[in-house]
Amino acid sequence: MENYIVSARKYRPTTFESVVGQRALTTTLKNAIATGKLAHAYLFCGPRGVGKTTCARIFAKTINCMSPTADGEACNQCESCTAFNEQRSYNIHELDAASNNSVDDIRQLVEQVRIPPQIGKYKVYIIDEVHMLSASAFNAFLKTLEEPPRHAIFILATTEKHKILPTILSRCQIYDFNRINVDDTVAHLAYVASKEGITAEPEALNVIALKADGGMRDALSIFDQVVSFTGGHISYKSVIENLNVLDYEYYFRLTDHFLANQVGDALLLLNDVLNKGFDASHFVTGLSSHFRDLLVSKDPATLALLEVGASIRERYQAQAQKCPLPFLYRAMKLCNDCDLNYRASKNKRLLVELTLIQVAQLTAEGDDVSGGRSPKQSIKPIFSQPAAAQQPQAATAMPQAQATTNAAPARPQPAQQAPAAQAAPASPQSQQPFGSQAAMRPTPTAVLMAQGKEEKKIPVMKMSGLGVSIKHPRIDEEKKQTSETIAQQNTQPEEDFIFNEKDVNYYWQEYAGRLPQEQTALAKRMQVIRLAMLDAVTFEAVVENEIAAKEFTDLIPTLQGYLRKRLKNSKATMTVRVSAPTEKVRAYSRVEKFQLMAQKNNALLQLKDEFGLELY
């Protein structure tokens, strides 16, 4: 055990080929290197532990390799590669913006950027968690990012792409890393296990992969944890015990109880699970996932959404055949309700038990209905659009429901049901159970679903919060801040970001590009205007005549508002000016270009006439 290295480090990929689960992306990077089309800045986005930093390092090594292989990988033998592999290369600098986000940190980095590499061609700067840079640090960095020396390449990495400022996005080539799927994770864990001389049951690795939720680093650390616990043989049983994961077995048995309407057995099973120390809410979410997995197993088309090992897959398919679709929809809905109400509930066990009782009675009710009574209530809840949108797999599986259960005579649908029915077609029979359910419970599904959605709050970016721009040159203007501007800054506590002519033109064109069809004329006029910076925050649009000037002056509030938002600068100011007669602001048309060229070289006219060319 001396010199123990965690698997995530020991088996960190050193070539693009060995990176797991990001094939498309690594191929693109390799091609870029092979064809010499390197950008100065890259942005790697994606969840934690999926290989962003690893790819950045491989990239740095490969572009510095002195004799890359035919398929675009680093040779791992030359001086540069060896230095990288022994972690003594001076051509790679890593900065974790989460802990080094001050202006000084960035200034240091910017200083370093100027020094060219001793060996190899490029110096690569990896800035991890780049969204954590403070506004002033960011401003200090922007200039370098815009005009880096030839030998510098920046790789910015982030887990939160939505927090990246547009001024960065527009300067980077963006690569989106995926969560690594379960199959790829299992395959890699199996590889590591074989290298380490550890035997592992595929189902056990599957549980680890599911638990890691798409992150290889997490998967490998869970793997290490299980290895140390089991000492060389990883079995399914040992994994679920060690990771406190509920056995699939419980859910299969429980579902059988539900289908047989055995309320008592279901409650006993719950008791068993709770006695083993499992959390009841954990149990309920597991049950929801089980129903969801059964649902996707029903249809070969959605089977790909089932992320379990091969042996369990068959069991899912077998049990899915026994479950009527309406049962699955309603069971998922009941479990979801239980999950949502769990935290608020004072008697959590009762809430779970009640849910189990309701689920266990679903098929009993269903029999009752098909026994002849005509459906009375109009039905809304589970087929409302939010539900359908949240569960696309349910929607795809539903046409089958129609085909298999359409025996009941068609019945005109109430008008209010129409949109829901459109989103998710289902037969009256399959809808019926929800109707009775809706009468029992007053809470509309749509509301619950909306609550569920809102729980995923998008975190708000935090800037160093002075609210005053230190880069801003017009200090005296800032001194006369009225209470009004202070109030404005309360709502916008972030520091203003600096921008240049390129930025403002970029968003100007972006705005033009986003205008609707009806405003094509305006879009065209905007597209030929180049904005010029007058000072740090003021820019002017030069137009041809008074009419255009009037038009754009009227548009200032709208355009300026848009640009302020996009530039993240509340002081960005737009002015309009009519061009002096000597200025030629309008872009030349093709015909005009030709005429100008022909004035200089008469042969062009001859060429045109000789070949009978037409100008368009």
By CB under 5 A, name the binding residues for Zn ion. Answer: 65, 74-75, 78, 81
Q: Is 72 left (phi over 0), alpha (psi -120 to 50) or beta?
A: left
Q: Smallest distance, Å, CB 616 to Zn ion?
A: 52
- CA-closest candidate to residue 312, choices 175, 455, 406, 182: 182
Q: Smallest distance, Å, CB 34 to Zn ion?
A: 14
- DSSP H helical segments within 158-279, as ranges? 166-169, 182-196, 202-212, 216-230, 236-242, 248-259, 263-275
Q: Smallest distance, Å, CB 30 to Zn ion?
A: 14
User: Which one, 59 or 508, has the nearer CB to Zn ion?
Assistant: 59
User: Which one, 86 or 518, has the nearer CB to Zn ion?
Assistant: 86
Q: What is the dihedral of CA 564, 568, 569, 572, to 10 degrees?
A: -30
- Start-to-end CA distance of the chain, whole Å, equals 77
User: Which one, 74 or 219, has the nearer CB to Zn ion?
Assistant: 74
User: Which one, 75 or 267, has the nearer CB to Zn ion?
Assistant: 75
User: Which one, 78 or 357, has the nearer CB to Zn ion?
Assistant: 78
User: Which one, 78 or 522, has the nearer CB to Zn ion?
Assistant: 78
Q: Smallest distance, Å, CB 59 to Zn ion?
A: 13
CA dihedral sign, ordered 428, 433, 437, 443: negative
Instruction: Report, in this order, helix, strand and coil percent for the chain, each rounded to 5.
Output: 55, 5, 35
d(CA 30, CA 437): 56
Q: Smallest distance, Å, CB 95 to Zn ion?
A: 25
User: Which one, 87 or 482, has the nearer CB to Zn ion?
Assistant: 87
CA dihedral sign, ordered 165, 170, 173, 178: positive
435 DSSP 8-state letter: H
The continuous run of DSSP H or E covering 577 comes out as: strand 573-578
Helices and strands counted in the chain (H then E): 30, 10
Q: Smallest distance, Å, CB 604 to Zn ion?
A: 52
d(CA 28, CA 24): 6
Q: Smallest distance, Å, CB 75 to Zn ion?
A: 4
Question: Taking the mean position of all CA atoms in its chain, how far away is CA 276?
Answer: 37
User: Which one, 56 or 401, has the nearer CB to Zn ion?
Assistant: 56
Q: Is 87 left (phi over 0), alpha (psi -120 to 50) or beta?
A: left
User: Which one, 80 or 358, has the nearer CB to Zn ion?
Assistant: 80
Phi/psi of residue 171, nearest 5 degrees = -105, 0
User: Which one, 74 or 198, has the nearer CB to Zn ion?
Assistant: 74
d(CA 289, CA 270): 16
Q: Smallest distance, Å, CB 73 to Zn ion?
A: 9
Q: Smallest distance, Å, CB 86 to Zn ion?
A: 13
d(CA 398, CA 408): 16
Q: Smallest distance, Å, CB 122 to Zn ion?
A: 13
d(CA 293, CA 391): 12
User: Which one, 89 or 319, has the nearer CB to Zn ion?
Assistant: 89
Other Cβ atoms closer than 10 A to 547: 10
Q: Smallest distance, Å, CB 62 to Zn ion?
A: 8
